[in-house]
Structure 1
């Protein structure tokens, strides 16, 4: 593995991918990492209007080499001191970006690139990469200003699951790097079959569940760096709804991804919901058990 693994961003010439490129350039500069710009497609040419202005001509057919050249120049203009390399790979983008993730620090992708519904839907490329990548994946979506730092809310939110995960550690690192507070959210719900006349729950049945959630939150944050300003919050309700609400006041939402079942990594309902509807960029962090095979041969992901 390279001493300084690059930050990889996938581009396809769309406005969504150019927003992802801007965010990735800022993030790479913040981390002191080189930026690798990758265009991957089985098609040799891209038909669209997003690059017309930068290419200095009318919209229409744009060659893959033009896409990465313009993207690379755009990143260099945004961050003049940033080392930038580009690559054109004539393969399915899902396969290429998952393979790139084995030797990357982070992979950044946009939402559905070739559709007018880009801000409402998540494309198969973004979803597949977020599900199968071997490093953290940031999906750029929401009404943000294309900046990885200095956003309007100056805080990061992490969803804390039933047990401490790698996502909490990564969220702490992101908050420390940006010098912003981290809000750690643990949701809880009282099971529907519980009633107030249960002898162990008499008086305040919800308090036991809330206290348990607070204890789990403390456990998850036990190893947080002392320099990170932590805001702890427990909330009753569905995790996906609570995190979506929190995304409106965050610059980055961090969630974990676990390996479940015999078919490898899967995204749960919470991850699916926030990836489709978050108001800010979402970072999906695989648990460490999912990163152990990073150097093994990458399997070809299935389209979704």
Structure 2
């Protein structure tokens, strides 16, 4: 996938309980992947609209930078409790939190944030930090929410698009690494259908077409990851509700993000937004840059799955 192979798992730290939950999850992930854990606290520079002497501005910034070390130390202790042998880096960086994490994503395996934060690192759906990450990060972003104690099982929605293919690739790799099943969900519904036309449609034929889309999307990944147990879910239902229901016992649910699209902003989509609000487990957001990923060769995939 996008990002540097073997790069650190990076976590945004802001002193909130949700950030600590993200740290514990990320520590286990870093240990399982055999990479470093990197804890980053970003400190906004003083506001430029305040009329302050330069010396006072510098003093305020230095005070904030020093204060951020406390949450970093607390986070490092929480990570060490989960993975005592894990190599842990920690750094306070001056700058806007969103841009700091975007920059970190260029060399990271994952960037991890909590669902809610205290100030800078707020929830992905509502906070500017997460919104920017969803649009601009160059590695997968994981928003830690819900239950985090499930060791295996990955849920991915299948939409038949190149971006959906990138999400599938990430999901297969995660299922192989965790040794759990990959639940591939193809949920389809005709929300705007005229009720008078509904009895006239050949629903069996439509379902067969939808199954073909599902099978075609899964075929290269099943070939690349033969050890993964793939479970197909094909239903005529709302996609977001189906994914939320299927992820009730999962370790991770995966969604794609198209990044910024002109003036329309972040194209995460209604399904992704619903997952980030209501999913009962961590949510992985796979970005547009990951669409360049190719299936992993079978011999490599089988080795990962052992």
Instruction: Sort the Cα spacing of 1:220 and 1:2 in 2 relative to 1 into closer, same or farther, 3 A.
Output: closer
Q: 2:111 aligns with which of 90, 93, 107?
A: 107
Aligned to 1:221: 218
Q: State the distance in 1 between where 2:159 and 2:5 align.
A: 32
Give the TM-score normalised by the residue count of structure 1: 0.78
Q: State the distance in 2 between where 1:126 and 1:259 align.
A: 12
CA shift digits 1:60-102 (9 cap, x unpaired): xx81111112212321232122111011012121111111111
Instruction: Sort the Cα spacing of 1:236 and 1:86 in 2 relative to 1 into closer, same or farther, 3 A.
Output: same
Aligned to 1:302: none
CA shift digits 1:130-179 (9 cap, x unpaired): 3321111000111x14x4xxx17x31101111325211011000000000
Instruction: Sort the Cα spacing of 1:127 and 1:114 in 2 relative to 1 into closer, same or farther, 3 A.
Output: same
Equivalent pair of 1:244/1:274 in contact (CA under 8 Å):
yes
Aligned to 2:207: 210
SS in 2 for 1:173: helix
Give the TM-score normalised by the residue count of structure 2: 0.77
SS in 2 for 1:221: helix
Aligned to 1:195: 197
Aligned to 1:56: none
Aligned to 1:89: 93
Aligned to 2:158: 160
SS in 1 for 2:132: helix
1:256-275 to 2 correspondences below 5 Å? 256-259=256-259, 261-263=261-263, 266-275=267-276
Instruction: Sort the Cα spacing of 1:276 and 1:43 in 2 relative to 1 into closer, same or farther, 3 A.
Output: farther
Equivalent pair of 1:140/1:282 in contact (CA under 8 Å):
yes
Q: State the distance in 1 between where 2:26 and 2:102 align.
A: 17
Cα deviation, residue 259, structure 1:
4.5
Aligned to 2:247: 247
Greater shift after overlay, 253-262 or 215-224?
A: 253-262
Aligned to 1:65: 69
CA shift digits 1:229-252 (9 cap, x unpaired): 000011112211211222222221
Cα deviation, residue 7, structure 1:
0.9
SS in 2 for 1:165: helix
Cα deviation, residue 273, structure 1:
1.3
Unaligned runs of 5+ in 1: 45-61, 293-304
Q: State the distance in 1 between where 2:86 and 2:237 align.
A: 43
Q: State the distance in 1 between where 2:89 and 2:276 align.
A: 28
Q: Give aligned pairs, total.
A: 263
Instruction: Sort the Cα spacing of 1:119 and 1:92 in 2 relative to 1 into closer, same or farther, 3 A.
Output: closer
Q: State the distance in 2 between where 1:238 and 1:215 align.
A: 19
Instruction: Sort the Cα spacing of 1:209 and 1:259 in 2 relative to 1 into closer, same or farther, 3 A.
Output: farther
Aligned to 1:57: none
SS in 2 for 1:248: helix
CA shift digits 1:21-53 (9 cap, x unpaired): 000000011111111110112179xxxxxxxxx
Cα deviation, residue 3, structure 1:
6.0
CA shift digits 1:201-234 (9 cap, x unpaired): 4xxx222222122111111111221100000011
Unaligned runs of 5+ in 2: 47-65, 294-306
Aligned to 1:181: 181
Q: Do residues 76 (structure 1) and 80 (structure 2) align?
A: yes
Q: Do residues 13 (structure 1) and 10 (structure 2) align?
A: no
